[in-house]
Each structure stands twice: as C-alpha cells, then as structure tokens.
Homo-oligomer: A and B are copies of this chain.
Amino acid sequence: MNKAVVIFSGGQDSTTCLVQALTQFDEVHAITYDYGQRHRQEIEIAQTLAKKLGVKAHKVMDVTLLNELAVSSLTRDDIPVSHELGENGLPNSFVPGRNILFLTLAGIYAYQVGAKTLITGVCETDFSGYPDCRDEFVKSMNSSLALGMDYKLEIKTPLMWLNKAETWAMADHYQALELVRDESLTCYNGIVGSGCGDCPACVLRANGLQDYLDDKTKVMEDYLSKV
C-alpha cells in the first residue's frame, strides 16, 4: 500500500499539498506541530480539515520544547533578553532550525507507519529567509533521514518552485480552490478563509488568488508546466 505523511498546518500551502496527496496515495497521514501558536484555533482548524478530507490518522505533536531553545530562554547571564535584532538580523527570541526538527519528527512518524513519502509545503519562491526551507537543505535532510533510519524515505516538496498564484492553480486543479479559500487559515490574526485582509500573510494570499483569477488559463499552464 502506497502511504504518505503530510506536514500539515491547516494553511493554504499544506492544505493544497494534503488535497493532492489524497488523490495520489492509498493512505495519507497528517502531522501538525503545536509550538504554542498565538491561536489555538490553528490546531482546531487543522483537525477539522484533516478529518473532513479523510486522512487515515492525524497526529498533533507538542513541540513547545522549541521555545526552550530560544536564546531568551536559555537562562544564561551573559545573553540579555532583547527584541532588537542581532548581528544575524534576527531577534534573539528567534529559534532557527525549526523545520529541521519538523522534518525529523515527521520522518520518524513516516518510518513508524510505514510511509515511504513525506510531503511538505515549503517553497523557495516566496522566499521566507529561512534556510531550512530551501531545496538544497531539504535534499540534504532527505539523505540524512534515510541514512539515519536506514529507510528509503523520499521527501516531496510540491510547492518548492511555485509562486502563490500557481499554488492557487494547483488547488483548483485538484477541485479544491473553494475549500482552500474558505476553510484554510493563513491569517496572522486567526481569521479563517479570507482572513483579516491586512496582515502580510493575508496580503500575499489575496494577491496570489487575484493573480490566478486575473488570468486562470496562463497561470494554470505555468503550474502544469512545472509538475
């Protein structure tokens, strides 16, 4: 049996990946990380969507241990807690390597349920500045997980080279544009679907949707040419 694990936040990107996976695999598992998000609602939305879409199992993992690794939590005398940016351009409450941890845990989960495919919606196109979302890193991590568990695991990143408009085309291609638009949560202010309309995530999402709707034929062609 063809099994996959999808790293699933309930946002536009991972919901689109989950919808696609459900058409391609016999059994799909979703894993959602709870690291003390501003909105507990995010977890509930992921649970509702996963159930509605018909995953085999949905694992919600508490990864609040990440917060223990923020510089400001290390309880060391010589590093003052600060919200100003450090030399690396990031606040000292920033925890790097979050996605390394997420892939590691999802990889272990995949091994345990016998899935040979691990799917994540990370993307270089809307480049977030996180090095652990880059293609080069994901390929290296794929090798590390396969070696470290002696297990033929393949990490797939269906959105890696898509822009936001093309991600909407992908959702449409899988007959899920309305579902993603109305039931996924990207908004920093916790508003499902169309969102608050003001936060950066809402603006990016709305602009992508508008770009797709403005020229569906061309954007769909662009999407299909990349897959």
Using a CB–CB cutoff of 8 Å, the interface residues on chain A facing chain B are: 56-57, 59, 61-63, 65, 68-71, 74-76, 79, 95-97, 99-101, 104-105, 107-109, 111-113, 131-132, 134, 136-137, 140-141, 143-145, 147-151
Q: With the chains together, A150 CA to B113 CA distance in Å?
A: 32
What residues of B have a CB within 8 angstroms of the CB of A108 in the complex?
69, 95-97, 100-101
Q: With the chains together, A145 CA to B97 CA distance in Å?
A: 8
Given A112-B71, A140-B140, A140-B143, also A148-B97 (CB < 8 A): yes
Q: List 24 A-B contacts (CB under 8 A).
A: A56-B76, A57-B75, A57-B76, A62-B65, A63-B65, A69-B105, A74-B113, A79-B113, A95-B108, A96-B108, A96-B112, A96-B148, A96-B149, A97-B108, A97-B111, A100-B145, A101-B101, A104-B104, A131-B148, A131-B149, A132-B147, A137-B144, A141-B148, A144-B144
Minimum Cβ distance to chain B for residue A7 (Å): 14
Q: With the chains together, A76 CA to B58 CA distance in Å?
A: 10
What residues of B have a CB within 8 angstroms of the CB of A145 in the complex?
97, 100
Minimum Cβ distance to chain B for residue A124 (Å): 13
What residues of B have a CB within 8 angstroms of the CB of A79 in the complex?
113
Which B-chain residue is minimally distant from A142 (CB atoms)?
B144
**Structural contact, A147 and B137, CB atoms closer than 8 A:** yes
Which B-chain residue is minimally distant from A143 (CB atoms)?
B140
Q: With the chains together, A70 CA to B69 CA distance in Å?
A: 24
Q: With the chains together, A57 CA to B96 CA distance in Å?
A: 20
Q: With the chains together, A70 CA to B62 CA distance in Å?
A: 15
**Structural contact, B140 and A96, CB atoms closer than 8 A:** no
**Structural contact, B140 and A147, CB atoms closer than 8 A:** yes
Given A69-B109, A108-B95, A140-B144, also A100-B149 (CB < 8 A): yes
Q: Which of B70, B101, B143, B151 is close to A105, meaning CB atoms less than 8 Å apart?
A: B101
Q: Which of B56, B100, B151 is close to A104, meaning CB atoms less than 8 Å apart?
A: B100
